[in-house]
Structure 1
Amino acid sequence: MSNRDYANRKPTKGKAKSTRRKSQAPAPRRFPLLLLLVTIGLVGGFCYFLWSINDSSTDDTEPAAVVDKPKKPVVNKDPNALPPKPKEQWTYQQELENKQVEVDIPDAEKAKPSRPYQMQCGSFRTLSQAEEMKAVIAFQGLSASIKKVKGTTGDWHKVSLGPYDSKRQVERERHILQKAGINGCIILFWEGA
């Protein structure tokens, strides 16, 4: 099989032309007279409807009982005049002027939480891993402590921060640690030293 260059091939003259039959031109379309008549009829009917309802709002057809009443003379008022000021109906303003509000202020001792918070950021088998976590926390400007705890499976070294007086302080420091990539911190109640 030989390779042919179809891109640079010149058209052949006089050889087989297309075998397609030339289609006959479609017959010229007639103007849709029926559609025009229907459209004119609909537009004319709509215009007549609008003309007939135009004067219906000004009809003075009143019931017989109302016709017997004498009509009030029409007074030409200034169209730019404002209506009279409405009469004030509210009484709460006078009630509030003589009202006293009593507020109970809690004592400072009662406002403090009975159990302050702490945050635990890790629990490790080896002391070196706990020291490494403590160093990463120190680079964030926070101070952590390591506590050795005996568990059912052996000794554990817990890295924790705290105590904190409010949960808001704990959340603020947890967000600082999350920005540094330390995501495993949990908030607990302070267990004491």
Structure 2
Amino acid sequence: MAKDYVRRSNRPRPKRNSRTTGGSKRKAASQGLNIPWLAVILAVLLAAGLGYLIYLVKGSAERKPADINQTQAAPAAIDPLEQKPVEKWRYIEQLENKEIQVDVPVAEENSQPYLMQCGSFRSQSQAEQLKARIAFQGMESQVRRSDGSNGIWYRVILGPYQSKRQAEKDKHQLLRANVNHCAIWFWEG
């Protein structure tokens, strides 16, 4: 005959007698009183050590500074505020009399001013839209019409700038405002 291991719960359980269960209750009650004495002893020792440490700290804070000075031998009554500190280094005195020569190169002024082109469009309306976006950044631009071999183009131009640094500054401001494809070039004529 095959055993059914899955349905073990169908087996009849033996009935327990109240006399047999009474002994197990006594055993459980005695186990509940089992106190971990080692943990209790360690907790008491830890609390005692902490209390002693607090007592030492509190005792040292309550002593007056006069008591401390009386216990130590004071060599002489010198006020530490009247003493001037002694400097360890002498570089301050040495640097006061030094003079440094620095050659600053003179920037060559370019006779030609810089222009910046931010767009080139076939339709004038697109060029005007870009001009408006640039105007929102606080810069003034121009739309110039140019006739080339490819037809009519409308270029959006900023400038003229006297230095390339000024043009670069405006270019970076336009890049932060998502106005891309700006190119800086010399103005010829």
TM-score with structure 1 length normalisation?
Answer: 0.48
Q: What TM-score results when the alignment is normalised by the length of structure 2?
A: 0.48
Choose between structure 1 and 2: higher helix proportion: 2
